[in-house]
Amino acid sequence: MKLTDLKRGESARIVKIGKIGELKKRLVDMGVTAGEVIRLERNAPLGDPQEFIVKSTNIAIRKQDAQNIEVEKN
Amino acid sequence: MIKIAFTGNPNVGKSALINAIAGSNLKVGNWAGVTVEKKEAEFEYKGEKIQCIDLPGVYSLSPYTLEEMITRDFIINEKPDVVINIVDSTNLERNLYLTMLLKELGRPMIMALNFYDEFEKLNYKLDTKKFEELVEMDVVMTSATKKTGLQELLDRALEIAKNKKDEVEYTLLFDNCLQDAIEVVKCKINCDETLLKASKKFGINFLAIKLIERDSHLLEILKEEYGYSLDQEIVKSAEQLELDHDEDVETILAEGRYGTVKGILARTFTTSMKSRLDFTDKIDRILLNKYLGLPIFLLIIVGLMGTVFNGSAPLIDWVDGFVNNYIGKYVGMLIDENTPAWLASLVVDGILGGVGGVVVFVPLMLYLYFFLALLEESGYMSRVAFLMDRIMTKLGLNGKAFVPMVLGFGCTVPAIYATRTLEDDSSRRLTAAMAPFMSCGARLPVYGLFTAAFFGAKAGLVVMSLYVLGITVAILTGLILKNFKMFKSEGKALLIELPPYRVPSLRVIVKSTLTRTTSYLKKATTIIMGMLMILWALTYFPNNGDTANSYMAKFGKTFQGVLKPTGFADRWETVAAIPPSLAAKEIVVGFMAQVLVGDNGAQEEEEEAPTTFFEDTTEQVVGLGIAIKDSVLAVVSFDVKGLFSVPEASEIEEEGNGIVAATKMLWTDNLAPLRAYSFMVYILLVVPCVVTLGAIKQEFGYKFTGFIIGLLLVVPYVVSTLIFQIGRLFF
The shortest CB-CB distance from B290 to any of A29, A45, A65 is to A45
Q: How many Cβ contacts (< 8 angstroms) between chains A and B?
A: 118
B390: chain A residues, CB-CB within 8 Å: 44, 46-49
- B97-to-B8, B182, B189, B259, B351 alpha-carbon distances in Å: 10, 19, 25, 10, 54
- For the stretch B376-417, pLDDT in tens is 888 888 898 899 999 888 887 888 888 888 778 777 887 888
Nearest to B498 among A17, A21, A51 (CB): A51
A48–B389 C-beta distance less than 8 A = yes
Which residues 6+ apart lie within 8 Å of A7 measured at CB?
A40
Q: Concatenated DSSP letters for B357-380?
A: HHHTHHHHHHHHHHHHHHHHHHT-
Q: Give the tens place of pLDDT for each residue, B203-236.
A: 889 999 999 998 888 899 899 988 888 888 888 8
User: What's the pTM value of the predicted model, to 2 decimals?
Assistant: 0.80
% chain B with pLDDT above 70 = 93
Which of A8, A29, A39 to mutate: most B Cβ within 10 Å? A29
B428 sits in which H/E element: helix B425-434
The amino acid at residue B428 is: R
State the Cα–Cα distance between residues B496 and B389, nearest whole angstrom.
11
User: Shortest Cα distance from B491 to chain A (angstroms)?
Assistant: 8
- Nearest CA-CA distance, residue B311 and chain A, Å: 31
* Chain-centroid distance, C-alpha B392: 19
Residues of B with CB below 8 A from A43's CB?
290
The pLDDT tens digits for B444-463 are: 778 888 888 888 778 778 88
Q: Chain B partners of A41 at a C-beta cutoff of 8 Å?
A: 281, 284
Whether the CB-CB separation of B111 and B14 falls below 8 Å is answered with no
Confidence of residue B605 (pLDDT cuts 50, 70, 90): very low
Q: Measured between CB atoms, does A8 come within 8 Å of chain B?
A: no
> Over 90: is that where the pLDDT of B336 sits?
no
> Is B288–A42 a contact, with Cβ atoms under 8 angstroms apart?
yes
- Contact residues for B412 (Cβ-Cβ < 8 A; gap 6+): B435, B436, B438, B440, B688, B689, B692, B695
What is the per-residue pLDDT for B348? Answer: 75
Work out the mean pLDDT of chain B and round it to a whole number. Answer: 85
pLDDT digits (tens, 9 = 90+) for B652-683: 666 555 677 788 888 888 888 999 999 999 99
Rounded Cα gap, residues B682 and B469, in angstroms: 11
pLDDT score, position B604: 44
B92 CB-contact burial (10 Å; exposed 0-12 / middle 13-18 / buried 19+): buried
Neighbouring C-alpha atoms within 13 Å toward the C-beta of A39: 10
Chain B residue whose CA is closest to A60: B496
Torsion angles phi and psi, residue B370, rounded to 5: -60, -50
Nearest-by-CA chain A residue for B296: A45
CB of A31 within 8 Å of any CB in chain B?
yes
What is the structure's pLDDT at B107? 92
Least confident segment among B103-117, B353-367, B590-604: B590-604
Task: Say yes or no to pLDDT of B353 above 80.
Answer: no
Asked if B698 and B691 count as a contact pair (C-beta separation under 8 A), the reply is no
- Digit-coded pLDDT (tens) for B133-145: 999 999 999 998 7
Rounded CA gap, B110 and B150, in Å? 13
Q: Are A44 and B387 an interchain contact pair (Cβ–Cβ within 8 Å)?
A: yes
Q: Which of B106-115, B116-125, B588-597 has the lowest mean pLDDT?
A: B588-597
Greater pLDDT, B721 or B597: B721
pLDDT tens for B501-526 read 988 888 888 887 888 788 777 766 66
User: Is A56 in Cβ contact with B275 (below 8 Å)?
Assistant: yes
Residues of chain A with C-beta less than 8 angstroms from the C-beta of B387: 44-46
Residues of A in contact with B385 (CB under 8 A): 60
Q: Is A48 on the interface with B (CB under 8 A)?
A: yes
Q: How confident is the model at residue B490 (pLDDT cuts 50, 70, 90)?
A: low
pLDDT at B345: 77
For residue B601, pLDDT beyond 50: no
| Res. B491 pLDDT band, cuts 50 70 90 | low
H-helix or E-strand spanning residue B444: helix B444-454
Helical segments of B169-231, H only: 176-191, 193-202, 204-213, 216-226
Query: How sure is the predictor about B602, in pLDDT bands with cuts at 50, 70 and 90?
Result: very low
CB contact under 8 A, A29 and B60: yes
- CB contact A63 to B (< 8 Å): no
Could you tell me if B718 lies within 8 Å of chain A, comparing CB atoms? no
Q: Confidence band (pLDDT; 50, 70, 90) for B72?
A: very high
Q: Is the pLDDT of residue B615 over 60?
A: yes
Render pLDDT for B233-258 as a digit per residue (tens, 0 to 9).
Answer: 888 888 988 988 888 898 999 999 99
Q: Residue B544 pLDDT more than 90?
A: no
B312 strand-pairing partners: none
Q: Given B91, B281, B390, which is nearest A46 (Cβ)?
A: B390
Q: What is the pLDDT of residue B381?
A: 82
A40–chain B Cβ distance below 8 A for any pair: no
**A26/B93 touch (CB, cutoff 8 Å), yes or no:** no
